[in-house]
Structure 1
Amino acid sequence: MTNRKEKMKDFKDEMSVIFRDYLKNRRIKKNAVQLIVEGKDDPKYYISRFNNLLNIDWNITSVGGKKNVISLKETLERHRLYKKDKCYYFVDKDFDTPVIDKSIYCTPTYSIENFYLFPTTIKDLIIAECGLSNPNLENRHQIIEYIIKDYENNLDYFHKNKKIIKINTVFKFIRFKKIEISSLEKILKIEFKANNLQNIKLKHQSEYKVLRTQNFSEFRSFIRSTEYTNLTSNPLVNFRGKQQILFLKWYLKRLYDNGDLAEKIFHKYQIKVRLENPSMADKVLSNLSSYAHTPLCLKNFLVEINNECNKNIAA
């Protein structure tokens, strides 16, 4: 049964299927600009940015991964009928070198999930969701600064955790050396025990021992390299987004009604500050999408799409 499921997954990932899915979605707005993104969660971040920054008719399609985005681009550019489609592509940098192509937007961070971790996200969130937009609230600015400082300190503590550094270093090493593996999740996996930042567990998965045995000496050289230095010099940008989202979920729960941060703020300022939505952390990619950081490079890319498409219309 497992082999059959794996074969079915492989079949679904074949470009013929991806191409047919693109055509199926294209029929909805065949004359619109086609915007191709990686995963099913990516539209949660991108759609509001497209609505705010694009003044053209557009259509979005998720194709299930960076490799599929690039492959679909190559397929369309070779196709007799569809090579004239106006398409733009959105991918995560991951642990790779940035993709340079005028029709591709590549995040400056590991992934779009990293944008959710920027301190500006938390600042905008607490102002909007915790009643801190009220100018008459006593100590309003001090409370905002207190939360942001607390957030930055805890995020720094998380990034300096040896287990977090290890898992990102191993994953970066795998990509840097182009080691063939079935999935990163079968190498190492992070778990938060009881939502405790001081009790992070690093689980060694089935393929880790083989990887370590075969690449031990090369790995020791890697952690003395420039690649390693660059990786660890800016963890907010370079570390894997999905792991950092675990931290964000933990932090948001501290601002729940019975959360320890909400209680600390009350004891310090005698003001009850808390997240009104008790499920804010459960669907963080949806709930925080409007607050997540929008980098200047994305804004500029969307402006260029507008300019290019409007120029073609005028012509």
Structure 2
Amino acid sequence: MSVDNLRASREKAVVVFTEFTRLYKQYPSALYCFFEEEDSKYYGIRIKNITRPEKDIYLPCRGKEAVLGIYQMLLFRKYYANVRAAYFIDRDFDKPIDRASLSVIYETPCYSIENFYTSVQCVSEILKVEFKLLESDENFHRCVGLYTKLQEEFHNAVELLNAWIACQIDKSSQITICDLSVTRFVTIDLDKITTMYTIDDLYTLFPQAPLLSQEELDTKRSELQAMNRQQSFRGKFEIEFLRTFLQKLINEANEGNYPYFTRKVKVPLTLSIRTIISDLSQYADTPNCLYNYLESLRKP
């Protein structure tokens, strides 16, 4: 981390650090968990089930830089040498953190926690529990096959978008994507995914963005494909696709519409993009690296 980035990290972390110092005086043996924003909605239940702390305290931070800033602030203060602390960050389109930090800081092996919700395995669990479909049910296989097909089409549609954004981040371009909805670029229907943008549209939307060569875009595309697009593509786009797919599928299930269902399947589930992380947390993937990290936090 550069000196400028380290300074920015510490500035973002000051408020959280002040709250931590107040709590630490009262609960010195608690497990203090530092997350990006509201990521505890995913991690919380896993911390309780795997680490099983006597007391855990969750401290949301304003982004990855703030979490890393807190880590640095505690690292260099001898008074907090014995604090039980856990740090959770998303990889995003950044380079992975150094191996020496991995034992102390948990970094997602994919873009973000949202990608843990968009695997075929996660969707299969949702179908079994929320749709009450048995694995032997024809409707289960129809839905899994449809999701697999549409996710592939979706990835084809947003590959250029993801590669372009990743390249801009590599160049430290000052583009703001936090509130960017993927539905601005694609239409998601159960019969097909429709692309609604060109690269010229991206430059129109972000006129300050530097021009990229075709070679840069192709190289980035190859990097993202090598990891697995469901894991390497921007998580908020991925989970938007999931929510739209599931909501449309629920509508078809409740009506029993062919060819998606051979009978009515009553599904009372209602999904909001604001609450989907907590609503579907029990079904999301728990990768081995996270399980091992949380196990390492358990008291002997």
Which TM-score band (shorter chain)? Answer: 0.7 to 0.9
Note if 1:18 corresponds to 2:55: no
The answer to whether residue 248 in structure 2 is matched with residue 254 in structure 1 is yes
Q: Which string of whole-angstrom CA distances, capped at 9 and with x for unpartnered residues, describes residues 207-257 of structure 1? A: 72232xx433xx3331243x4302134210100000111101111112224
1:221 paired residue number = 215
Q: Is residue 51 of structure 1 aligned with residue 48 of structure 2?
A: yes
What 5-or-longer segments of structure 1 have no aligned partner? 1-9, 134-138, 311-315
Report matched runs for 1:72-221 at 5 Å: 72-99=70-97, 100=99, 101=101, 102-133=103-134, 140-161=136-157, 164-177=158-171, 179-181=172-174, 183-185=176-178, 190-191=182-183, 196=189, 198-202=193-197, 204=202, 208-211=206-209, 214-216=210-212, 219-221=213-215
C-alpha separation in 1, matches of 2:281 and 2:72: 30
Q: Give the letter aligned to residue 46 of structure 1.
A: Y
What is the Cα deviation at residue 143 of structure 1?
2.2
2:267 aligned counterpart, secondary structure: coil
Contact 2:16 2:59 in 1 (8 A): no
3-state DSSP class of the match of 2:151? helix
Name the counterpart of 1:300: 292
2: CA distance, partners of 1:266 / 1:152? 14
| CA shift in 2, pair 1:180/1:254, >3 Å | closer
CA RMSD of aligned residues (A): 2.9
Partner of 2:264: 272
Shift of 1:304: 1.7
Segments of 5+ residues of structure 2 without an aligned counterpart are: 1-7
Instruction: Mark the CA change 1:152 to 1:301 in structure 2 (over 3 Å): closer, same or farther.
Output: same
- Shift in Å, 1:290: 0.5
Structure 2 letter corresponding to 1:198: I
Provide the C-alpha distance between the structure 1 equivalents of 2:109 and 2:277, rounded to a whole number of angstroms. Answer: 19
CA distance 1:171–1:257, change in 2 (3 Å): closer
What TM-score does the superposition give when structure 1 sets the normalisation length? 0.78
SS in 1 for 2:281: coil
Change in CA separation of 1:185 and 1:229 when aligned onto 2, cut-off 3 Å: same
Distance in 1 between residues matched to 2:170 and 2:175, nearest whole Å: 16
* TM-score between the two structures when normalised by the length of structure 2: 0.82
Cα distance in 1 between the residues matched to 2:245 and 2:205 = 31
Q: Which has the larger Rg?
A: 1
Does the aligned pair in 2 maintain the 1:190–1:200 contact within 8 Å? no
Query: How far apart are the structure 2 equivalents of 1:145 and 1:247?
Result: 20
**How far apart, CA to CA, are the structure 2 residues paired with 1:297 and 1:255?**
32
CA distance in 1, matches of 2:84, 2:274: 36
**CA deviation after TM superposition for structure 1 residue 261, in Å:** 9.0
2:49 maps to amino acid: N
What is the number of equivalent residue pairs in this alignment? Answer: 281
1:22 deviates by: 2.6
